[in-house]
Structure 1
Amino acid sequence: MKVENLDLPEQLKNSYIDSGITDLNPPQELAVEAGLMEGEDMIVAAPTASGKTFIAELAMVNQVVNNEKTAVYIVPLKALASEKYQDFSERYEGLNVRMSVGDLDEAGEGLENADIVIVTSEKLDSMLRHNPSWIHEIGLVVTDEIHLLTSPNRGPTLEVTLTRLRDLLDFQLLGLSATISNSDELAEWLDAELVESDYRPVELKEGIHQGNEVEFFPEDYELDEEKSEEESSGFKTGSEIKNEASGTKRTEKMFIEDEHGRATMNLLEDTLDKDKQCIIFCNSRKGAEKSSDRCGKVSRPDLSRQERKELGRIADEIENVLGNPTSQCKRLAENVRKGAAFHHAGLVTEQRNLVEEAFKEGLIRSVSATPTLAAGVNLPAFRVILRDLKRYTGDGMDFIPVLEYEQMTGRAGRPKYDDTGEAISLAKNPGMKNEILERYVLGEAERIQSKLAAEPILRMHTLSLIASRFCTDMEELRSFYRKTFYAYQYGDMEEVEEKVENVVSQLRDYDFVEEDELRPTDVGRRVSELYIDPDSAHMMLECLERAEDQDTRPVSYLFMLSRTTEMQPRPRVRDKEWNEIEQAFMDAQEFILESTPDEWETDYDHFMECMKNSLLMQAWISELDEEKIMNKYNVAPGGIRAKMRDADWLIYGAQELARMKNLDLKDEDGSSELEKLRLRLKHGIKDELLNLVSYDQIGRVRARKLYDHGIRDQKDIREVSFEKLKKLIGKATAKKLKKQVGEENIFDRENVMDYFE
Structure 2
Amino acid sequence: MTLWTVVSAQKSKFKVMPIKNKKKVPIFLGELILGNTSAGPRPHKFKVYKEGKGEYRSPEEFVDLLRMSNRIMVVNGEYDEQESDFFEMLKGYQLKGEYVNACRHCLLKNRFNFVNKKSIRYHNELICEDCAKGELENALNNAQYRYSEEAIEHLKQLLIKTRDFDRTLGMLNPETIDSDLTRYDTIESNPDVSTIKIDDIPINKKFKQHLQKKSEYLLPVQSLSVQKGLLDGNNQLVMSATATGKTLIGELAGINNVLNKRGKMLFLVPLVALANQKYDQFTKNYSHLGIKTSIRVGSSRIKTSKTASMRTTLDSDIIVGTYEGLDYVLRTGDADKLGNIGTVVIDEVHMLEDAERGHRIDGLISRLKYTVPEAQFIYLSATVANPEWFSQKLGAYLVEYEYRPVPIERHLVFSDDSKKVNLITKLVKDEYSQYSSKGYRGQSIIFTNSRKNCHRISDALPMSSAAYHAGLTGYERKKIENKFQNGELPAVVTTAALAAGVDFPASQVIFESLAMGIDWITMQEFLQMLGRAGRPDYHDRGTVVLLATPDKNYTGEQKLTEDEVAIQLLKGEMEHTGVEYGEDENMEEILASSALTTSKSDLKAIHNKFIGGYGFSQFFNQLKKYKFINQKGEKIYLTKFGKIAARHFLSVTKAFLIRDAVLAGTEPINIVTNLEFFDSVYFKHASRISRTLKVNLPARVFQGGTIDILFEGENLSKLDESLQDQIYEFAEDFLTCNCKDSPYCGCPEHKFSSKLISLRAEGNDPEEIIKQLEIRYGITAYVGDLYDYLDDVIRNLDAVEQMAKAYSKKDIAKNAYTLKRNVEGSG
TM-score tier after normalising by the smaller chain length: 0.5 to 0.7
1:482 is matched with: 608
Aligned pair partner of 2:257 in 63, 74, 79:
63
Aligned partners of 1:178 and 1:401: how far apart in 2?
Answer: 14
- Please tell me whether the aligned partners of residues 257 and 343 of structure 2 are also in contact (alpha carbons under 8 angstroms): yes
1:524 is matched with: 642
Give the direction of change, closer, same or farther, for the CA distance of 1:40–1:165 in structure 2 (3 Å limit). same
2:216 is matched with: 22
Aligned partners of 1:31 and 1:165: how far apart in 2?
Answer: 22
Amino acid at match of 1:525: K
1:697 is matched with: none
CA shift for structure 1 position 392: 4.2
CA shift for structure 1 position 652: 2.8
Amino acid at match of 2:816: L
2:318 is matched with: 116
Amino acid at match of 2:429: E
Amino acid at match of 2:398: L
Secondary structure, in 3 states, of the residue corresponding to 1:163? helix
Give the direction of change, closer, same or farther, for the CA distance of 1:262–1:471 in structure 2 (3 Å limit). farther
Aligned partners of 1:47 and 1:680: how far apart in 2?
Answer: 45
Amino acid at match of 1:447: H
Amino acid at match of 2:199: E
What are the superposed Cα offsets for residues 306-336 of structure 1, whole Å, 9 maximum, x if unpaired?
xxxxxxxxxxxxxxxxxxxxxxxxxxxxxxx
Aligned partners of 2:359 and 2:274: how far apart in 1?
Answer: 19
Aligned pair partner of 1:617 in 757, 763, 766:
757
Give the direction of change, closer, same or farther, for the CA distance of 1:211–1:110 in structure 2 (3 Å limit). closer
Secondary structure, in 3 states, of the residue corresponding to 1:486? coil
Matches within 5 A, 1:503-582: 503-506=623-626, 508=627, 512-514=628-630, 518-547=636-665, 556-564=667-675, 572-577=702-707
Aligned partners of 2:491 and 2:313: how far apart in 1?
Answer: 40
Aligned partners of 1:627 and 1:134: how far apart in 2?
Answer: 41
1:450 and 2:571 matched = no
Aligned partners of 1:10 and 1:682: how far apart in 2?
Answer: 45
Give the direction of change, closer, same or farther, for the CA distance of 1:614–1:497 in structure 2 (3 Å limit). farther
Aligned partners of 1:43 and 1:127: how far apart in 2?
Answer: 25
- Please tell me whether the aligned partners of residues 283 and 391 of structure 1 are also in contact (alpha carbons under 8 angstroms): yes
Matches within 5 A, 1:363-382: 363-382=488-507
What are the superposed Cα offsets for residues 602-659 of structure 1, whole Å, 9 maximum, x if unpaired?
x985666445433443465576851453666653222122211221222233233333
CA shift for structure 1 position 430: 8.2
Secondary structure, in 3 states, of the residue corresponding to 1:514? strand
CA shift for structure 1 position 437: 5.3
- Please tell me whether the aligned partners of residues 590 and 607 of structure 2 are also in contact (alpha carbons under 8 angstroms): no
1:290 is matched with: 456
CA shift for structure 1 position 86: 1.7
Count of aligned residue pairs for this structure pair: 560
Aligned partners of 2:311 and 2:286: how far apart in 1?
Answer: 22
Give the direction of change, closer, same or farther, for the CA distance of 1:632–1:465 in structure 2 (3 Å limit). farther
1:404 is matched with: 525
- Please tell me whether the aligned partners of residues 300 and 791 of structure 2 are also in contact (alpha carbons under 8 angstroms): no
User: Quick check: 340-349 or 538-547, which moved more?
Assistant: 538-547
1:11 is matched with: 206
1:653 and 2:799 matched = yes
- Please tell me whether the aligned partners of residues 620 and 629 of structure 1 are also in contact (alpha carbons under 8 angstroms): no
Amino acid at match of 1:641: Y
Secondary structure, in 3 states, of the residue corresponding to 1:276? coil
Aligned partners of 2:620 and 2:311: how far apart in 1?
Answer: 33
Give the direction of change, closer, same or farther, for the CA distance of 1:29–1:71 in structure 2 (3 Å limit). same
CA shift for structure 1 position 576: 3.8
Amino acid at match of 1:271: E
Aligned pair partner of 1:86 in 280, 303, 306:
280
Give the direction of change, closer, same or farther, for the CA distance of 1:628–1:209 in structure 2 (3 Å limit). farther
Aligned partners of 1:103 and 1:177: how far apart in 2?
Answer: 22
1:426 is matched with: 547
What are the superposed Cα offsets for residues 275-321 of structure 1, whole Å, 9 maximum, x if unpaired?
522111110111111100111x2x2xxxxxxxxxxxxxxxxxxxxxx
Aligned partners of 1:189 and 1:22: how far apart in 2?
Answer: 35
- Please tell me whether the aligned partners of residues 298 and 324 of structure 2 are also in contact (alpha carbons under 8 angstroms): no
Give the direction of change, closer, same or farther, for the CA distance of 1:536–1:637 in structure 2 (3 Å limit). same
Higher fraction of strand: 2
- Please tell me whether the aligned partners of residues 75 and 143 of structure 1 are also in contact (alpha carbons under 8 angstroms): yes
Amino acid at match of 1:273: S
1:383 is matched with: 508
Secondary structure, in 3 states, of the residue corresponding to 1:563? helix
2:248 is matched with: 54
Secondary structure, in 3 states, of the residue corresponding to 1:412? coil
Q: Structure 1 regions of 5+ residues with no counterpart?
A: 213-257, 300-338, 488-492, 551-555, 590-597, 684-692, 695-757
Give the direction of change, closer, same or farther, for the CA distance of 1:61–1:673 in structure 2 (3 Å limit). closer
1:279 is matched with: 445
CA shift for structure 1 position 358: 1.2
TM value normalised by structure 2? 0.61
Give the direction of change, closer, same or farther, for the CA distance of 1:378–1:261 in structure 2 (3 Å limit). closer
CA shift for structure 1 position 261: 7.3
Give the direction of change, closer, same or farther, for the CA distance of 1:116–1:167 in structure 2 (3 Å limit). same
Aligned partners of 1:454 and 1:345: how far apart in 2?
Answer: 28
User: Quick check: 61-70 or 194-203, which moved more?
Assistant: 61-70
- Please tell me whether the aligned partners of residues 348 and 380 of structure 2 are also in contact (alpha carbons under 8 angstroms): yes
2:430 is matched with: 270
Matches within 5 A, 1:80-229: 80-93=274-287, 94-102=289-297, 104=299, 113-129=315-331, 130-135=333-338, 137-168=340-371, 169-210=373-414
CA shift for structure 1 position 30: 0.7
Identity level (%):
25
Aligned partners of 2:746 and 2:622: how far apart in 1?
Answer: 25
1:705 is matched with: none
Give the direction of change, closer, same or farther, for the CA distance of 1:535–1:104 in structure 2 (3 Å limit). farther
1:347 and 2:472 matched = yes
The alignment yields a C-alpha RMSD, in angstroms, of 3.7
1:626 is matched with: 770
Aligned partners of 1:519 and 1:113: how far apart in 2?
Answer: 28
Give the direction of change, closer, same or farther, for the CA distance of 1:2–1:467 in structure 2 (3 Å limit). closer
Aligned pair partner of 1:32 in 223, 226, 235:
226
